[in-house]
Structure 1
Amino acid sequence: MSSIQLKNIVKKYGDGFPAVNDVSLDIADGEFMILVGPSGCGKSTLLRMVVGLEDITSGDLEINGKRVNDLAPRDRNLAMVFQNYALYPHLTVFENIAFPLRLSKGTHSEDEIQRKVREASKMLELDDHLDRKPGNLSGGQRQRVAMGRAIVREADAFLFDEPLSNLDAKLRGQMRTEIARMQRRLGITTIYVTHDQTEAMTLGDRVAVLKKGVLQQCASPRELYEQPVNLFVAGFIGSPPMNFVPARVEGDQLRLPFVSVPMTPQLAADVKGKDVVIVGIRPEYIKDAEVNPVSGGATFRALVDQTEWLGNEQYAYIPFEQDSSVQGHLDNLEKELDGEGARSQIVVNLDARSQIFEGDEVEFAFDPAHMHVFDPESGHNYTRNEEKAGRIAEASEKQRKAALKRAQERDAKGAISRGNDVA
């Protein structure tokens, strides 16, 4: 296992464009770090610089405190799992997994190779496929083989480059669980690149959100969701995404398209001098007032344009008229998020019991304490609570260490049990 430090990493190509711009990350020993962001944000380039497949223009990359900028990929002792699996079609599953061991000729005996491969295949449930060729395997099985090849290397860290993007939705869910279980069991430092925020939120101890090569925020999934630092992070994290609506500043009130809400004295002071701000509300915080009344909350009546019932939940879509003064900012945000244009509608995540249909006029309610208020120009989140964010970070790190400890204790018990069986 190892710690990895990225210090002011920059990658510029021949035309001077910074694909990665001044990124600093401190990845702890045994941590699962996710790099996420829209297409072209620099996440894969950053991963390739860590493994040594891309040169670093400036900045320092350290593994266990040792600067490795000039080391060849083979000398960094990192195991990479690629999007296309990179398996050898003419070799069996066993030989694909054993390949890195055979590559270092004379280092491993045949008995050792057999043991390492079979330990990995058992962990990944590949025992029945060791004599098959990759072409006869499913996508999920091929991905397991690629992971097995990384495991037997006993590398200092695993690097994953969008490993599940070629799988269907059901297989992605299964493989997410397997990757998480494997990482906890091995306790190995892992950097994982994805554009899928579901993978980011379910797998990562921490998630680094990138935008145009610049690190926006690095935090636990919960902190990103509840305490985003800016408009971009708030819009990227969450499914359905956060609702953004314009709000006119009128004294100590914010006038939204449907209702006016009071501001705290601190927020009123922060937005003083602003005519318009952008308010963000998560879909689950807006309730059908008849089914889920919100004590002391803001209420409004609105016409429902469309509904979607999914069995365990229901979505309602409420159109509103966009304020021209923030339309451009929201349009730019949507482009940055790989969207097609600003959404002039509110999405409400309703209780499945709500009997709401298209064309109904309904009373909704939400607690203004759950709002986020952003500066339209800079995207700064006025309502981020640093104290709460700190508590979330502390709790997340505690949970990470506890999970690693539990996994190691289970592995130790399993090793004792296997030893007794042999005896």
Structure 2
Amino acid sequence: MASITLKNLVKKYGDGFPAVNDISLDIADGEFIILVGPSGCGKSTLLRMIVGLEDITSGDLLINGERVNDKAPRDRNLAMVFQNYALYPHLTVFENIAFPLRLNKGKYSDEQVKKLVNDAAATLELTEHLDRKPANLSGGQRQRVAMGRAIVRQADAFLFDEPLSNLDAKLRGQMRSEISQMQRRLGVTSVYVTHDQTEAMTLGDRVAVLKKGILQQVASPRELYEQPVNLFVAGFIGSPSMNFLPATFKDGNILETAVGDIRIPEDKAAKAAGKKVVLVGIRPEFFEDASLVEEHKKAHGSTFTAPITHTEWLGNEQYGYIHFDPTPEVRELLDNLARDMDADELRPQVVVTLDAASRVRGGRDAELWLDTRRIHLFDPESGENLTRDPEAGAELTEEANERRAEEIAMAHDHQEAAATTSE
């Protein structure tokens, strides 16, 4: 296992454009970290710099405190799991997993190779498939073979480059669980690249969000969700996405928005003092059907009426949609934000999450309640989250770190108990 340290890493190509721009990041021994962002943000380039497939223009890359900028990939003892599996079709599963061991001629005896491959196959539930060829395996099984090849190398760290993107949605869910459990059992340092935020939010100890080669924020998934540092992170993390509403202040702590007036806590209003216009960040679940909110709870929010254009009922919950007409300035702001997030457009609408029991229907006005304690206020020019609480965010990440350490310890205890039982 290994710690990986990135110090001011820069990658420039022939045209001088920095695909990776001054990124510094400390990855702890045994940590599972996710690199996420839209297409072209530099996440895969950064991963390839770590493994040695891309040269480093400037900055330092350290593995276990040793500078490895000039070391060849084979000398860094890192195992890469690619998107396309990179399996040899003419070899059996056993020989595909054993391949990196065979390359080290004379280092491993046949008995050692057999034991390492069988142990990896048992970990990944591939034992009964060892004599089969890759063409006869499912996509999930082929992915596990690729992971088995990484395990037998006994590498210091695993690097995953969008390993699940070729799988269907159901299989992706299963493989997410398998990768997470495997990483807990092995306790190996892992760096995982994805553009899928579900993978990012469910797999990682910490998530590093990149935009145009620049690191925006690195934190636990919960901190990213609840305490985003800027507009980009807030809009990129979460599904459905955070709603952004332009607003102006009137009468102190009342925000005038396209969907009505919203009274916010005075401490939040104070953090945006002096701003003529702010963007209000509201996640869909901050709303509720006002008729279903208990009276004592209503005092902690703001109630307003807005026209619902249509609803989508999902069984356990439903979404309501409110459209608004943006000013040209707001339209430009939404278009710029959409380009940053690699989206076609950000429609001028508000998505609200409603209880499945709600009788709110499309084509009618609905009375909605908004939990204003949870909203964010953003500077539309800089994108800064004016209401972010850094201390609360740090606590969320620390809690996640402690919980992860407990899970890894429990996984190791179970593994040792299983090994003792088998003996």
Same fold (TM over 0.5): yes
2:203 corresponds to: 203
Q: Decide whether aligned partners of structure 1 residues 145 and 159 sit closer, same or farther in structure 2, where only a CA change above 3 A counts.
A: same
User: Alpha-carbon deviation of 1:274?
Assistant: 2.2
User: Alpha-carbon deviation of 1:242?
Assistant: 0.4
User: Alpha-carbon deviation of 1:128?
Assistant: 1.6
1:295 corresponds to: 298
2:256 corresponds to: 255
RMSD: 1.2
Answer yes or no: is the 8 Å Cα contact 1:12–1:19 preserved in 2.
Answer: yes
The answer on 1:94 being equivalent to 2:97 is: no
Bigger CA drift: 167-176 or 295-304? 295-304
1:399 corresponds to: 403
SS at match of 2:373: helix
Answer yes or no: is the 8 Å Cα contact 1:205–1:220 preserved in 2.
Answer: yes
1:144 corresponds to: 144
2:123 corresponds to: 123
- Give the distance between the partners of 1:344 and 1:5, measured in 2 at CA: 42
1:312 corresponds to: 316
Answer yes or no: is the 8 Å Cα contact 2:305–2:368 preserved in 1.
Answer: yes
User: Alpha-carbon deviation of 1:308?
Assistant: 0.8
2:339 corresponds to: 335
1:286 corresponds to: 287
User: Alpha-carbon deviation of 1:329?
Assistant: 1.6
SS at match of 2:298: coil
User: Alpha-carbon deviation of 1:356?
Assistant: 2.3
The answer on 1:325 being equivalent to 2:325 is: no
Q: Which amino acid aligns with 1:275?
A: K
Answer yes or no: is the 8 Å Cα contact 2:248–2:255 preserved in 1.
Answer: yes
Q: Which amino acid aligns with 1:389?
A: G
Task: Summarize deviations over 1:292-316 as a string: whole Å, max 9, x none.
Answer: 3442121111111111111111111
Answer yes or no: is the 8 Å Cα contact 1:164–1:172 preserved in 2.
Answer: yes
Q: Which amino acid aligns with 1:217?
A: Q
- Give the distance between the partners of 2:188 and 2:201, measured in 1 at CA: 19
- Give the distance between the partners of 1:279 and 1:206, measured in 2 at CA: 26
- Give the distance between the partners of 1:391 and 1:310, measured in 2 at CA: 33
- Give the distance between the partners of 2:345 and 2:12, measured in 1 at CA: 30
User: Alpha-carbon deviation of 1:411?
Assistant: 1.3
SS at match of 1:409: helix
Answer yes or no: is the 8 Å Cα contact 2:261–2:304 preserved in 1.
Answer: no
- Give the distance between the partners of 1:306 and 1:266, measured in 2 at CA: 34
In the TM superposition, 1:165-180 aligns within 5 A as 165-180=165-180
Answer yes or no: is the 8 Å Cα contact 2:260–2:306 preserved in 1.
Answer: no
Answer yes or no: is the 8 Å Cα contact 1:248–1:276 preserved in 2.
Answer: yes
User: Alpha-carbon deviation of 1:273?
Assistant: 3.0
Q: Which amino acid aligns with 2:26?
A: D
TM superposition score normalised by structure 2: 0.97
Answer yes or no: is the 8 Å Cα contact 1:101–1:153 preserved in 2.
Answer: yes
Task: Summarize deviations over 1:111-132 as a string: whole Å, max 9, x none.
Answer: 1111111111111111121111
User: Alpha-carbon deviation of 1:250?
Assistant: 2.5
- Give the distance between the partners of 1:124 and 1:62, measured in 2 at CA: 30
- Give the distance between the partners of 2:422 and 2:35, measured in 1 at CA: 37
In the TM superposition, 1:258-273 aligns within 5 A as 258-273=259-274
TM superposition score normalised by structure 1: 0.97
- Give the distance between the partners of 1:360 and 1:263, measured in 2 at CA: 26
User: Alpha-carbon deviation of 1:152?
Assistant: 0.6
2:394 corresponds to: 390
SS at match of 1:368: coil
In the TM superposition, 1:26-41 aligns within 5 A as 26-41=26-41
2:360 corresponds to: 356
2:276 corresponds to: 275
2:214 corresponds to: 214
Answer yes or no: is the 8 Å Cα contact 2:223–2:393 preserved in 1.
Answer: yes
User: Alpha-carbon deviation of 1:219?
Assistant: 0.2
User: Alpha-carbon deviation of 1:269?
Assistant: 4.0
- Give the distance between the partners of 2:293 and 2:244, measured in 1 at CA: 22
- Give the distance between the partners of 1:180 and 1:323, measured in 2 at CA: 45
SS at match of 1:20: strand
1:244 corresponds to: 244
Q: Which amino acid aligns with 1:327?
A: R
Bigger CA drift: 116-125 or 184-193? 116-125
User: Alpha-carbon deviation of 1:81?
Assistant: 0.1
User: Alpha-carbon deviation of 1:165?
Assistant: 0.2
Answer yes or no: is the 8 Å Cα contact 1:245–1:322 preserved in 2.
Answer: no
User: Alpha-carbon deviation of 1:320?
Assistant: 1.4
- Give the distance between the partners of 1:74 and 1:346, measured in 2 at CA: 51
Answer yes or no: is the 8 Å Cα contact 2:265–2:373 preserved in 1.
Answer: no
Bigger CA drift: 341-350 or 269-278? 269-278
User: Alpha-carbon deviation of 1:323?
Assistant: 3.4
Task: Summarize deviations over 1:88-136 as a string: whole Å, max 9, x none.
Answer: 0110000000000111011111111111111111111111211111111
Count the aligned residue pairs: 419
- Give the distance between the partners of 1:99 and 1:221, measured in 2 at CA: 36
User: Alpha-carbon deviation of 1:321?
Assistant: 2.0
User: Alpha-carbon deviation of 1:367?
Assistant: 1.5
- Give the distance between the partners of 1:358 and 1:267, measured in 2 at CA: 32
2:42 corresponds to: 42
User: Alpha-carbon deviation of 1:414?
Assistant: 1.6
Q: Decide whether aligned partners of structure 1 residues 104 and 177 sit closer, same or farther in structure 2, where only a CA change above 3 A counts.
A: same
Bigger CA drift: 162-171 or 396-405? 396-405
Q: Decide whether aligned partners of structure 1 residues 374 and 175 sit closer, same or farther in structure 2, where only a CA change above 3 A counts.
A: same
- Give the distance between the partners of 1:203 and 1:270, measured in 2 at CA: 34
